[in-house]
Structure 1
Amino acid sequence: MKINQSEKFRCPWCLGFKEYIQYHDEEWGVPVYSDKVHFEFLVLESAQAGLSWATILKKRDGYRRAFANFDYKMVADFPDQMIEELMLDAGIVRNRLKIASAINNARQFMEVQAQVGSFTGYIWDFVNGKPKDNQLVNMSQAMATSPESDLLAKDLKKRGFKFLGSTTIYAHMQATGLINDHLSQCFRHHEVKRLVR
């Protein structure tokens, strides 16, 4: 699929296929204030480890079905045998450790809520409640981690979360708008800035 960048400039990483462009144009970098949406992205980002985001994006509907539409309360109650069932589900990445971590992380997610009130409040504290704008001019300036993602990943690990290292957490922070890594000339860069609460 050929995209005319002269009509509307986009971050070049998204130009592979239609759903990727749609994800970039409508979701990536939008500040997220919903615990359920944060949980969805934690499941998807942890599943991505070692794979491309494009692979996960194509399986997103499969994850939605397999993980109770990302209802973390339901996922936290999945019995052990559910891991075996999900290992047979071609709609998701069939990696036992990643599947088990999603269930474990749902339980830890609820522990965070019980301790601090909301996961949203907890995670936004790591950027002092305001998105970090890296003002990237080209993709060579893009980072894989940051001091904030290092601190958050370390705290999540201490709390018992799995498969959420600093690189994965940085991707989560980008996706959920805690970090604005749209290129400065991308049409979405200023649009997502206007969505901050």
Structure 2
Amino acid sequence: MSELCGWCLSDPQYIRYHNTEWGVPSDDDAKHFEFLILESAQAGLSWLTILRKREGYRKAFANFNPRKVAKFDADMVEVLKTNSAIVRNRLKIESAISNARLFLDIQKEYGSFARYMWSYFDDTPLQNHWHSLSEVPATSVQSDHISKDLKKRGFRFFGSTICYANLQALGFVNDHLLSCPRHAACAEVGNSFRPHWL
């Protein structure tokens, strides 16, 4: 019987995200930066909480433009701390800004942030075949390596568990359950996926 992955619950916004975004491979740096901000903000909270604040983050963080966010200063941190449309945690706000600067460093080094990330997968999405949510891991070899390297570079709020959630969201791995119709759809997209630098 075909049914959606159990984690998306019954919330319309969650279901829409599951059905249109989660697990779709991306080589778009704008998308990667957006999810870097959102996943980092999610630490200790539910993803649904972050989804509901997504547009608030879009407005507060310059439409997820890393060059603009990288220029945010201490005064901007104070302004953002009063913004109820985002998670008002000073450490998370400050890390989003410092992570934006480091994001730009990786872009300069690799040509794009997405290219850096996909290098851990030989530019090819992994197709997993899970039957139940209990089989889906919280981390992987790749998320361990990426989070370790990013931490060494100075990134914050992007440990292996958050990193793996990021890999799932951006289609590095297809973690839709086999019973979910999106598994086949994302597998089809993944099997034909070729990053723009190839």
Amino acid at match of 1:89: N
Q: Who is 2:78 aligned against?
A: 84
Inter-partner Cα distance in structure 2 for 1:100 and 1:133: 35
| Matches of 2:106 and 2:98, distance apart in 1 | 13
Matched residue of 1:195: which SS? helix
Gaps of 5+ in 2: 194-198
**1:115 Cα deviation (Å)?**
0.8
Structure 2 length normalisation: TM-score? 0.94
**1:163-182 alignment to 2 at 5 Å?**
163-182=157-176
**Residues 124-143 of structure 1: pairs in structure 2 closer than 5 A:** 124-143=118-137
Distance in 1, matches of 2:189 and 2:63, equals: 25
| Corresponding residue number in structure 1 for 2:10 | 16
1:184 aligns with 2:178: yes
State the superposition RMSD in angstroms. Answer: 0.9
What amino acid is aligned across from residue 166 of structure 2 in structure 1? H
Superimposed CA distance per residue, residues 43-79 of structure 1 (whole angstroms, 9 cap, x where no aligned partner): 0000000000011011001000100110111101112
TM-score (norm 1): 0.95
Q: Measure the CA separation in 1 of the matches of 2:47 and 2:98.
A: 22
Other-structure match for 1:60: 54
Structure 1, 59-68 or 126-135: larger mean CA deviation: 126-135
Q: Which residue of 1 aligns with 2:196?
A: none
Q: Is structure 2 residue 112 aligned with structure 1 residue 115?
A: no
| Gaps in structure 1 of 5+ consecutive residues | 1-5
**Aligned mate of 2:92, from 98, 119, 132:** 98
Shift of 1:15: 2.0
Match of 2:44 among 43, 50, 58: 50
Matches of 1:40 and 1:109, distance apart in 2: 11
C-alpha distance after superposition, 1:146-186 (max 9, x if no partner) = 11100000011111111100000000000000011000121
* Aligned AA (1:112): I
Q: Which of 25, 29, 33 is the matching residue for 1:31?
A: 25
Which secondary structure state, in structure 2, belongs to the residue aligned with residue 77 of structure 1? coil
Distance 1:194 1:78 in 2: 40
The superposition leaves residues 18-38 of structure 1 with CA deviations (integer Å, 9 ceiling, x where unpaired) of 000000000000001100100
Tell me how far apart the structure 2 counterparts of residues 16 and 98 of structure 1 sit (CA, whole Å): 28
The amino acid of 2:81's aligned partner reads: M
* Aligned-partner residue type, residue 117 of structure 2: I
Range with bigger deviation, 36-45 or 127-136: 127-136
Distance 2:185 2:10 in 1: 22
Rounded to whole Å, the distance in 1 between the matches of 2:147 and 2:103 is 13
SS for the counterpart of 1:153 is helix
